[in-house]
């Protein structure tokens, strides 16, 4: 388990979403609402529950299947590439919970959101720093800079994004991996180091809030040796410490 605690939001906590939420399927907006609710099905982040009245007709197809949840009884429907659950009673009566990947895209106001809804109680800050940061592995220096961007994200250790001129690409091998983050966007590149896959990544076109990291390169400090101002920083233990981790959804 991670030694970086997740936000303490109880399961099945619900509250209004203050933003306009839209979802698209096959090039059409199939839900458009300013009345969505957050519901935390597990503590790290919530899901959207959308009023059924704000979903267009003829996109939900009832399977006849019923599911029982703590939050109420759901009627299972197919939609797009996945399923949706319609609640007629209980905590979220009159609302629909879509599988995220059932739709082609999701938007908060006019900004696309990836992977899952953003947690309103999480912060992700990109802060420029002149501290001396170095990353090494097996005695080889991978990156060394006094001009990094430090990214502080609730529930994760700090990440250090290096200018590309400070990275020794002789040790890095490009990878085909691509991941998405609800707070940063879609990665543009990954690199492996020796026989260790996908230890570094970059965002060329991050979200507006994370623009300072554009074009920079970050490394998993769970899997490399990091020092700041000459002081070695022990490797943190997080879910990303697992060598077999599926990176398809990468929150770092």
Per-residue pLDDT of the chain (252 residues; tens, 9 = 90+): 345 555 578 899 999 999 999 999 999 999 999 999 999 998 889 999 999 999 999 999 999 999 998 888 999 999 999 999 999 998 999 999 999 999 999 999 999 999 999 999 999 999 999 999 999 999 999 999 999 999 999 888 999 999 999 999 999 999 999 999 999 999 999 999 999 999 999 999 999 999 999 999 999 999 999 999 999 999 998 888 776 655 555 544
Helix (H) or strand (E) holding 82: strand 82-87
CATH number at residue 75: 2.170.150.40
Q: pTM for this structure? A: 0.87
Instruction: Specify if 247 maps to a domain.
Output: no
Judgement on whether residues 21 and 99 belong to the same structural domain of the protein = yes
Cα–Cα distance between 124 and 106 in angstroms, integer?
A: 20
Judgement on whether residues 136 and 36 belong to the same structural domain of the protein = no
Judgement on whether residues 140 and 164 belong to the same structural domain of the protein = yes
Q: Where does a domain end: 66, 84, 113? A: 113
Instruction: Specify if 246 maps to a domain.
Output: no
Total domain count, the chain: 2
Nearest to 65 by CA among 93, 37, 85: 85
- How much helix, strand and coil, in percent to the nearest 5, is found in the chain? 10, 50, 45
Judgement on whether residues 109 and 129 belong to the same structural domain of the protein = no
Domain that holds residue 89: 14-113
Cβ neighbours around 69 below 10 Å, total: 15
């Amino acid at each position: 388990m991670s030694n970086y605690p997740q936000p303490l939001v109880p399961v099945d906590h619900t509250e209004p979403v203050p933003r306009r939420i839209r979802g698209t399927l096959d090039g059409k907006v199939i839900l458009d609402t300013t009345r969505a609710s957050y519901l935390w099905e597990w503590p790290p982040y919530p899901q959207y529950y959308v009023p059924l009245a704000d979903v267009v007709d003829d996109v939900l197809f009832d399977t006849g299947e019923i599911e029982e949840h703590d939050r109420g009884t759901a009627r299972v429907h197919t939609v797009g590439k996945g399923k949706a659950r319609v609640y007629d009673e209980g905590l979220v009566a009159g609302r629909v919970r879509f599988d995220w990947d059932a739709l082609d895209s999701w938007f908060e106001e006019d900004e696309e959101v990836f992977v899952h809804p953003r947690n309103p109680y999480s912060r992700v800050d990109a802060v420029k720093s002149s501290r001396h940061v170095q990353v090494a592995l097996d005695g080889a220096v991978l990156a060394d800079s006094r001009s990094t961007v430090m990214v502080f994200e609730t529930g994760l250790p700090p990440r250090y994004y290096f200018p590309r001129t400070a990275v020794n690409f002789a040790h890095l091998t490009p990878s085909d991996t691509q991941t998405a983050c609800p707070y940063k966007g879609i990665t543009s590149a990954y690199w492996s180091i020796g026989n260790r896959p996908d230890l570094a990544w970059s965002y060329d076109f991050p979200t507006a809030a994370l623009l300072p990291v554009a074009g920079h390169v970050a490394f998993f400090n769970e899997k490399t040796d990091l020092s700041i101002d000459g002081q070695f920083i022990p490797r943190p233990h997080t879910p990303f410490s697992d060598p077999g981790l599926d990176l398809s959804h990468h929150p770092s």
